[in-house]
Amino acid sequence: MRVGIIGGGVAGLAAAYQLTKQGHFVEVFEQAPFLGGQASTFDVFGGRLERGYHHLFVSDTDITELIHELGLGDRLAWLESSVGFYYGGKIWDFATPMDLLRFKPLSIFQRVRVGLWTLLLQKTQNYRKFENITAKDWLSRRMGQNAYKVIWEPMLRGKFGEFYDRISMTWIWGKVRLRVASRSKGGQRERLGYPMGSFGEVIDVLAQRITEQGGQIQSSATVTQIVQSGGAATALDVQLEDSQSERREYDAVIATTPSYVFTKLAPPMPKEYQDKLEGTNYLSAVLMVLVMDRPFTNKYWLNIADSDMPFVALIEHTNLIDRNLYGGKHILYISNYPSRDSELYRKSAEELMELFVPHLQKINPDFDRSWVIEHHHHRVDGAQPIVGINYGAGIPDHRTPHKGLYLANTTQIYPEDRGTNYSVRMGKQVAQMVMDDAESKTP
Ligand SMILES: Cc1cc2nc3c(=O)[nH]c(=O)nc-3n(C[C@H](O)[C@H](O)[C@H](O)COP(=O)(O)OP(=O)(O)OC[C@H]3O[C@@H](n4cnc5c(N)ncnc54)[C@H](O)[C@@H]3O)c2cc1C
């Protein structure tokens, strides 16, 4: 079987790996000059660093297995993380249940109440009961209005901006379970995983394995159309760098692009499927990466619960990963998830630096711009699907209404939140679907 795959991110490569392993021929087309999509890397002082902060949770078993299968198991480190919460002009430790009990912005009664309901969330297996209620309603009713305002609303605003009050409780349920699953035995500190050669090394070895298994991967190759004939996807039109557009024929096509890109490439869809594709909106990620000569805080992850701050989290990569991988430099991500039509999204790197520096100085009064040796600005479109209530019912099937055309993108990851682990799992599952469908057609 010949399979064309649109997108050389984790999902596309995981599908390609699976198909080539079973002896099928695949071609992967990636529009960027590099592979890895949202998990791609760039060079920083001799090391490779993700454009957006990346780590793994202990429950991320699909990608962990893949990393081992690729022979990179000894490169995967599990490290104790440190989490802080910036509130009321102060950084509070926020990594363990004891930290919650010491969190003075809430009364002791409120702290215990948050702790007990969080425990209950962790124990709840069935997410469906959270599907038709917003996180705002559930959390403020159960944990109290003040706890919602202080702890949860900043987190929701951080991830979903103006959509914060429409997010389903299922999303919070998923986050709480994930973080608890990453705690060491005894329920205390969280451990996070990181491939020490970066996610870029995992992507490189995966790509190498795909080509060894007979597949082909082309970067700087943009798919401009999915061609259909007789109700089935039969070919892709591809714009290769510096050349004419080429038409390549396939028995099946897997698209891993965001839904809003897919609708432009795909043949017209029946209304019901089209509505599902158009029903999910995304936010982009805007990241500023500061490479510094000294540390900014002692936390890996710092949630910013202050609506006057123009960023929602600070992730100090080198408080998790050894800075000697980056020539001894300290690396801080400044993170935001705006929509593409927002002012913040449009700002240049210089404008963002001017905006951010005075606020960084509020968090660490010693901070000076001279600490920053270089800065890097990244925008990632389609970074975060907006998970509203009853989200599950609106997810489009992987099998589209056109025979031989499959969709595998981050909007279809649910009830978990998007992440590399789930893109690996989805890529594998959709590859299996393609093979099963082909087999069932064979007389
Ligand atoms: C800021 C940020 C932080 C994150 N942190 C973590 C983390 O800590 N841990 C974790 O596990 N996950 C994290 N993620 C999520 C994770 O990176 C993604 O869920 C995952 O990489 C998505 O992979 P994908 O292949 O499904 O999609 P993508 O990576 O989006 O891949 C789709 C690919 O399709 C390509 N494409 C689009 N249109 C075309 C076209 N017409 N022709 C050819 N190619 C096309 C795109 O260029 C892209 O490379 C983070 C994401 C972001 C943005």
The residue whose CA has the least distance to atom 20 of ligand 1 is: 420
Proportion of the chain above pLDDT 70, given as a percent:
97
The model's pLDDT over 145-201, given as tens digits with 9 standing for 90+, comes to 999 999 999 989 888 988 999 999 999 999 888 766 666 555 567 899 999 999 999
Cβ pair 217, 28 in contact under 8 A: yes
Q: Is the pLDDT of residue 69 over 70?
A: yes
Please give the Cα distance from 240 to 346 (Å, whole number): 29
Whether residue 202 sits in one domain with residue 185: no
Q: Compute the C-alpha angle 216/198/315, nearest 5°.
A: 130
User: Is 172 inside a domain boundary?
Assistant: yes
Answer positive or negative: Cα dihedral of 46, 54, 288, 179: negative
Residue 62: both structure tokens together: 């699909």
On the CB side of 184, CA atoms within 13 Å amount to 12
User: Is 354 inside a domain boundary?
Assistant: no
Tell me, in angstroms, the distance from the centre of ligand 1 to residue 185's CA: 31
Please give the Cα distance from 380 to 345 (Å, whole number): 10
User: Is 365 inside a domain boundary?
Assistant: no
Spatial CA neighbour of 10 closest among 153, 206, 287: 206
Whether residue 403 sits in one domain with residue 271: yes
Residue 37 is predicted with a pLDDT of 98
Whether residue 103 sits in one domain with residue 70: no
- pLDDT higher for 196 or 122? 196
Backbone φ, ψ for residue 373 (5° rounding): -80, -45
Average pLDDT, integer, range 131-153: 96
3-class DSSP assignment, residue 141? helix
Residue 380 is predicted with a pLDDT of 96
User: Is 285 inside a domain boundary?
Assistant: no
Ligand 1 neighbours by CB, cut-off 6 Å: 6-12, 29-32, 37-39, 52-56, 222-223, 256-257, 261, 265, 285, 287, 380, 382-383, 409-410, 418-421, 423
Whether residue 210 sits in one domain with residue 66: yes
Average pLDDT, integer, range 66-89: 96
Domain that holds residue 222: 2-75+197-279+395-441
Whether residue 29 sits in one domain with residue 155: no
Q: Is the pLDDT of residue 407 over 60?
A: yes
Residue 134 is predicted with a pLDDT of 98
Whether residue 232 sits in one domain with residue 208: yes
Backbone φ, ψ for residue 173 (5° rounding): -55, -45
Whether residue 31 sits in one domain with residue 164: no
Residue 7: both structure tokens together: 């997108």
User: Is 429 inside a domain boundary?
Assistant: yes
Whether residue 201 sits in one domain with residue 177: no
Whether residue 115 sits in one domain with residue 149: yes
Name residues whose C-beta falls within 8 Å of residue 241's C-beta, 6 or more positions apart in sequence.
220, 221
Q: What is the mean pLDDT of the chain?
A: 95
User: Is 404 inside a domain boundary?
Assistant: yes
Whether residue 184 sits in one domain with residue 100: yes
Answer positive or negative: Cα dihedral of 364, 51, 80, 170: positive
Q: Is the pLDDT of residue 426 over 90?
A: yes
Among candidate residues 124, 154, 189, the one where a domain is terminated: 189
The residue whose CA has the least distance to atom 34 of ligand 1 is: 7
The residue whose CA has the least distance to atom 2 of ligand 1 is: 52
User: Is 414 inside a domain boundary?
Assistant: yes
Tell me, in angstroms, the distance from the centre of ligand 1 to residue 103's CA: 35
Residue 184 is predicted with a pLDDT of 54
Instruction: Tell me how many domains the chain contains.
Output: 2
The model's pLDDT over 195-247, given as tens digits with 9 standing for 90+, comes to 999 999 999 999 999 999 999 999 999 999 999 999 899 999 999 987 889 99
- Number of residues that make up the chain: 443
Among candidate residues 142, 159, 189, the one where a domain is terminated: 189
Whether residue 399 sits in one domain with residue 261: yes
Q: What is the CATH number of the domain that holds 162?
A: 1.10.3110
The model's pLDDT over 20-33, given as tens digits with 9 standing for 90+, comes to 999 999 999 999 99
Cβ pair 302, 354 in contact under 8 A: no
Residue 187 is predicted with a pLDDT of 54
Q: Is the pLDDT of residue 55 over 90?
A: yes
Q: What is the CATH number of the domain that holds 272?
A: 3.50.50.60
Residue 95 is predicted with a pLDDT of 87
Average pLDDT, integer, range 127-155: 95
- Give the predicted TM-score (pTM) of the model: 0.96
Tell me, in angstroms, the distance from the centre of ligand 1 to residue 200's CA: 12
User: Is 105 inside a domain boundary?
Assistant: yes
Among candidate residues 189, 206, 237, the one where a domain is terminated: 189
Residue 199 is predicted with a pLDDT of 98
Whether residue 150 sits in one domain with residue 203: no
Q: From residue 356, how far is each of 138, 284, 285 by CA, in Å?
A: 33, 18, 16
